[in-house]
Structure 1
């Protein structure tokens, strides 16, 4: 055997061995690509895509703490002040459909008030919204009000399970809703426990002027109410006016037979707003009192005046302070002046 044959044989043997070893080698799989959270800017700031879907989600909320003072701040009526705290978290999901954005909203709140033993976590809102239709648990148009804390322009409860349609075109809207009123403060006054309400509303903006006109009919008490509000920018602030009338106590408005309110929100600086307000009630409600709960029965022949001032200040971005002091010339049970109010700190996110 010559040297050439020996070299060729050795090369062939090495090739066979190398091939066998290559066949037994373990090849590492390519790593799966990581899907990072993507920003969704189709519906405004704060939304992001839920990984693996085309649904956009926004998480927001606030932490609010208040020191309240005034009459009956405790369950037994012996404390004239209380410390109160709330945590609020809102989840908003949106996705595109052939009918427009499909929206789902869930709002959870936890309140802590040791003075009245009023606390716990509860569902504040939960509804579905698409093509102008809304169904679920949400606040009605009656929850809207002037910007200060003086006005009282709706009944105790404005949160209902409802079906609503609202048409919107530019700065104008109009709608109709059917509301379940079983949880209203006046429950039990009527003969029938199947309490439904029908409400209608319209409103909008025109330059520096905004307006709203709403009405509601309570099928249980067979009474109704209407309310109008308007604001207009004048000088360094905004003038707000409102009036409401009720045929009798009902789930939409039960404070008085009619009322008128006014305020002027002064934007003193970019961060400071001062809002004095006044309200007059004609023929205020009668009722029976059980602790902090008042059951309205009818209207009286008593008139009431209320006045106050609210101060809002932005300490830094997303951190706010609010102070409110209100005077009223009559309580539920006796003719006397009362003063109440609160100091609030709120961190929004």
Structure 2
């Protein structure tokens, strides 16, 4: 009986000690779960989710080295080189009002003969079909080669734009702030208005564009059409301006054509030409006289490797009462 009691007592004591040790045991804290960057495929390749949010972000851009040539291109020199750095940040997310987008493009050109710095190339907000900010207007869209002149030299403005899209058809209107445009001395309003309609019809695409400069009281109309034809893409364009204005200022009438031939998957050749009627303008910006001109050229595009390309453009220009000249450039660009 004494032995039995002793055994029972020992077992109870061990159980008590074991229970106390279990209660007092130190348990290592579980690590906080890590949130890795997730791919966002809702808006195309290259987007990823910002950790902790439902906003998708894409970072891209390019580095470009280019040497251009032409008469007195840099002082008395007929050639000039520069290097460009372009950084683009694109943020998008879905909302109850549609896709919300914010875009920032930063650009810096390094040229030995000029100051070097970084400027805002574009910065805008988009919500559905509404776009507001500083961006390239519709006139910046031209043919694919480097021969045509189908817009004025300035195509970036602070603007408000709305575009309606239904399948392959689209239509839009924009109001631009034209501050800094050189045409005319009367710049009281600094307002320009654009309108566009366009669409795709099988292998063909057409866009009809108009712009009106309220200060100059002059406007311009342009049409561009492209079509897949044979081994390449045929591009045709025509423009008319009532007088020099913020949207087109080179001539009263012009027509242009090109044919982009895809020789291989990496190599493309684009011959093109353009004719201009009535190059002269009056002091008030209207066109008069009978001075015409034409230009023709070739553009070569070659994909050296993934995200590495080169472009060579050579153009010949002959305007009445001006010395004819050759212009062009050689470009190497690394995109990311």
TM-score above 0.5, yes or no: yes
Deviation at 1:193, TM superposition (A): 3.6
- Aligned partner of 1:105 in structure 2 is 103
Query: Is 1:159 matched up with 2:148?
Result: no
Given candidates 203, 223, 231, the residue that maps to 1:228 is 223
- Aligned partner of 2:78 in structure 1 is 80
Q: Give deviations 1:22-79, integer Å, cap 9, x for gaps.
A: 66654321100000011111111111111011111111211111111112322xx222
Counterpart secondary structure, 1:70: strand
For 2:188 and 2:121, the matched residues in 1 are separated by: 23
For 2:80 and 2:5, the matched residues in 1 are separated by: 103
Deviation at 1:340, TM superposition (A): 1.0
Given candidates 231, 235, 238, the residue that maps to 1:240 is 235
Listed as ranges, the matches of 1:170-189 within 5 Å are: 170-186=167-183, 189=184
Counterpart secondary structure, 1:249: coil
Ranges in structure 2 where 5+ consecutive residues have no aligned partner: none
- Aligned partner of 1:119 in structure 2 is 116
Asked whether the 8 Å contact 1:182–1:193 carries over to 2, the reply is no
Listed as ranges, the matches of 1:191-230 within 5 Å are: 191-230=186-225
Cα–Cα, structure 1 residues 84 and 300, in superposed 2: closer, same or farther, change >3 Å?
Answer: farther
Aligned residues: 335
Deviation at 1:6, TM superposition (A): 6.2
Query: Is 1:341 matched up with 2:336?
Result: no
For 1:100 and 1:191, the matched residues in 2 are separated by: 40
Q: Give deviations 1:208-234, integer Å, cap 9, x for gaps.
A: 111111000011111111101111222
- Aligned partner of 2:301 in structure 1 is 312
Given candidates 95, 104, 120, the residue that maps to 2:93 is 95
For 1:271 and 1:118, the matched residues in 2 are separated by: 36
For 1:12 and 1:72, the matched residues in 2 are separated by: 104
Q: Give deviations 1:242-288, integer Å, cap 9, x for gaps.
A: 11111111100011111111111111112111111111111225599
Asked whether the 8 Å contact 2:235–2:259 carries over to 1, the reply is yes
For 1:162 and 1:135, the matched residues in 2 are separated by: 6
Asked whether the 8 Å contact 1:132–1:167 carries over to 2, the reply is yes
For 2:210 and 2:264, the matched residues in 1 are separated by: 36
Listed as ranges, the matches of 1:139-154 within 5 Å are: 139-154=136-151
Asked whether the 8 Å contact 2:225–2:235 carries over to 1, the reply is yes
Counterpart secondary structure, 1:96: strand
Cα–Cα, structure 1 residues 219 and 310, in superposed 2: closer, same or farther, change >3 Å?
Answer: same
Structure 2 length-normalised TM: 0.92
Asked whether the 8 Å contact 1:330–1:338 carries over to 2, the reply is no
For 1:123 and 1:133, the matched residues in 2 are separated by: 21
Query: Is 1:41 matched up with 2:23?
Result: no
Counterpart secondary structure, 2:139: helix
Ranges in structure 1 where 5+ consecutive residues have no aligned partner: 289-295
Query: Is 1:63 matched up with 2:58?
Result: no
